[in-house]
Amino acid sequence: MLKTGIDIVCSNIIKIVDIEEIFFGIEEEGVPYILKFLEEEKIDKEFYVNGRFEIGIGINSDGEIFLNQKKYTKEYILKENIGSSKKRLRVFGQNAARVLKGLPLKKV
């Protein structure tokens, strides 16, 4: 059983090919993740921070991507959009993993 990782909750309108760079970035940092699709347009913070792990990524049907964690009181830690470059999406995934590991964030 996984003890730490990232919950990713995504609107079922989003195609995996549009967000796979995020997964690649997380994997490069050696962090596991769990992907779940919901029939929701807007993925509220509660959906992705109350999962199995303490940190989560929510991806709305409009392509907005948010990183957050349970104890963080603001709207999000990091934000990106699926229309961003592959490099930006990969760095978003890397930075999500780095937040979990307590490491400094990478710049795009």
What CATH number does residue 38 fall under? 3.40.50.10150
Q: Is the pLDDT of residue 49 over 90?
A: no
pTM (global) more than 0.95 = no
- Containing domain of residue 85, as a range? 6-99
Q: What is the pLDDT of residue 43?
A: 85
If you average pLDDT over every residue of the chain, what do you get?
Answer: 92
E strands, the chain, are: 6-11, 33-38, 55-59, 64-69, 78-81
User: Is residue 93 situated within a structural domain?
Assistant: yes
In tens, the pLDDT along 8-39 reads: 999 999 999 999 999 999 999 999 999 999 99
CB atoms within 10 A of CB 30: 8
Do 21 and 91 meet the contact criterion of CB atoms below 8 Å apart? no
Query: What is the pLDDT confidence band of residue 2, given thresholds at 50, 70 and 90?
Result: low
How far apart are the C-alpha atoms of 2 and 98, rounded to whole Å? 17
Q: What is the pLDDT of residue 1?
A: 58
